Amino acid sequence: MAKPADVTDANFESEVLKAATPVLVDFWAPWCGPCRMVAPVVEELSDEYAGKVKFVKLNTDDNVRTASQYGIRSIPTLLVFKGGQPVGQIIGFRPKGDLKKRLDAVL
């Protein structure tokens, strides 16, 4: 199972905003219980959408600038970026089927 790569304030622009494919960013923190619940679902989706969508994680505790830039107030928050712009947002834990529907809708 492919683990989403970690991104930071320093490489967010090159890894997410300038990516050739859509990118799902998992905004999370180590102390967040629902974040730990959504992580394996995101990993499964990263396998299923390999080559179509890039999956990355951003620790909101360590990367406050990017989290605040995108108005992340609750975690987990999943943002889908396409062409450098956010095109979809999912807040909180959702079942895999819900995440797939939302992801397919923006692709």
- Does the annotation mark 5 as catalytic? no
Where in the sequence is the domain holding 45, given as residue range(s)? 5-93
Mean pLDDT for all residues in the chain: 95
Nearest to 4 by CA among 40, 38, 43, 59: 43
Structural domain contains residue 98? no
Question: Does residue 3 register a pLDDT over 80?
Answer: yes
Question: What pLDDT score does 91 carry?
Answer: 95
- Does the annotation mark 32 as catalytic? yes
Indicate whether this model's pTM tops 0.75: yes
Count up the domains in the chain and report the number: 1
Structural domain contains residue 105? no
Structural domain contains residue 89? yes
Identity at 20, one-letter amino acid code: A
CATH of the domain at 34: 3.40.30.10
Structural domain contains residue 74? yes
CB 103 within 8 A of CB 24: yes
HSE at residue 46, side-chain half, CA atoms within 13 A, is 19
Marked catalytic residue, from 23, 25, 35, 90: 35
Please give the Cα distance from 60 to 27 (Å, whole number).
6
Structural domain contains residue 106? no
Structural domain contains residue 102? no
DSSP helix/strand/coil, 87: strand
The tens digit of pLDDT for each residue in 68-94 reads: 999 999 999 999 999 999 999 999 999
Marked catalytic residue, from 29, 32, 39, 91: 32
